[in-house]
Amino acid sequence: MSEALRVAKNATGRTSPNPLVGAVIVKDGRIIAEGWHRKAGTPHAEIHALNMAGELAKGATVYVTLEPCSHYGRTGPCANALVEAGVAKVVVAMLDPNPKVAGRGVKILQDAGIEVVTGVLEEEAKKLNEVFLKWITKEMPFVALKTAMSLDGKIATATGQSQWITNEASRLRTHELRDVYDGIMVGINTAIKDNPSLTTRLPNNMGKNPVRIVVDSKARLPMNSNLVTDGKAQTIVAVSGAASAGAVQDLRDAGVQVISAGEDKVDLPQLLKKLAEMNICSILVEGGGQLNFSMLKAGLVDKVYAFIAPKLIGGRDALTPVEGDGFGELNQAVELENAETELIDGDILITANVAK
């Protein structure tokens, strides 16, 4: 099962809105085939592995990280394919929370006389598919907040300089994160101040660009900004009822998709619900302190990536990763759990989940 989990990761960031799935076929004590789901609409992991195994699949044991599907979508049911291949046993890491599956895949296998074992390395499988689990069960995107700061918690100097606080290796890691998230979100202040492109820039032009999302209640995004003009990726601007009809139309005429959510300002939960309906299953928030606080206060953040550089900036007016009104009581603070630390050429990356 560990090998199945490993090969599933080969498609990280490429299967949305589908989950990551790996499959390994074992016979006579050795691995004879393996496969992983590569992209939505293409064959699932089990099919790749069965094709590789051929006739040897008969009587074999299949290890798969997610319950085999039982429904007809863009591809046929994997449970049926396993039955037809004549496998003897199927070991499943976790049941599929998708209502279209919900244990029916296991039932098809058992009804055909195939031995089924479930729950092997289940927690590891759930971690692998944390994005899919959030999207399919809550109908909301998985949201990660990424920030880069000095050791004293500043994301810019008092004069607004922020390029660059962290080192080149940390910035490369940021682009690796962008590569695996469906969307990247900033607030209008960041969009105006930095005029970012929010694209993925990896060596040899590898990587995919996420959908760019700007939270812009009054539709103030300049028409000459990179997010409007560069054409490198889709841009969505989220506005409220306070945005002028003319500004909204200008954005649409420029090819920007405009979503309305909220009356006086953008309603973030409503916005995320709409993005989830568009199959944007994961979002990397790279905004400033105000957007970060708003997302945290609304309980919308699932994970935090905090890059910390070994330098001190100081300044009572220097910006911090979380601004806004803050939380008045310590028991209101956002608690993080399962923290992992990594040294990146002298910088520190802390990755943690928001305690729910």
Could you read off the pLDDT of 157-178 as tens digits, one per residue?
999 888 899 999 999 999 999 9
Helix intervals (H) in 159-260: 168-180, 188-194, 226-229, 245-253
Total number of domains in the chain = 2
Q: Which amino acid is at 311?
A: K
Q: In this structure, are 337 and 264 located in the same domain?
A: yes
Reply yes or no on whether the pLDDT at 73 is more than 90.
Answer: no
Q: In this structure, are 292 and 340 located in the same domain?
A: yes
Q: What residue numbers bound the domain in which 118 lies? A: 1-130
Q: Active-site positions? A: 46
Consult the annotation and say whether 202 binds a ligand: no
CATH code where residue 41 lies: 3.40.140.10
Q: In this structure, are 170 and 316 located in the same domain?
A: yes
Looking at per-residue confidence, does 101 or 87 come out higher? Answer: 87
Q: In this structure, are 63 and 205 located in the same domain?
A: no
Consult the annotation and say whether 281 binds a ligand: no
Could you tell me if 131 and 281 are in contact, meaning their C-beta atoms sit under 8 angstroms apart? yes
Taking the chain, what is the end-to-end CA distance rounded to the nearest angstrom? 28
pLDDT band of residue 66 (cuts 50, 70, 90) is very high
> Per-residue pLDDT averaged across 303-328, rounded?
96
- End position of a domain, from candidates 130, 152, 185: 130
- Measured in degrees and rounded to the nearest 5, phi and psi for residue 12 equal -55, 125
Q: In this structure, are 153 and 120 located in the same domain?
A: no
Consult the annotation and say whether 130 binds a ligand: no
pLDDT value, residue 75: 65
pLDDT band of residue 206 (cuts 50, 70, 90) is confident
Consult the annotation and say whether 290 binds a ligand: yes
Consult the annotation and say whether 36 binds a ligand: no
Consult the annotation and say whether 293 binds a ligand: yes
- End position of a domain, from candidates 105, 130, 155: 130
CATH code where residue 235 lies: 3.40.430.10
Q: In this structure, are 170 and 107 located in the same domain?
A: no
d(CA 98, CA 78): 15
Q: In this structure, are 163 and 273 located in the same domain?
A: yes
- End position of a domain, from candidates 99, 130, 161: 130
b/e map of 237-273 (b: 16 or more CB within 10 Å)? bbbbeebeeebbebbeeeebebebbbeeebbbeebbe
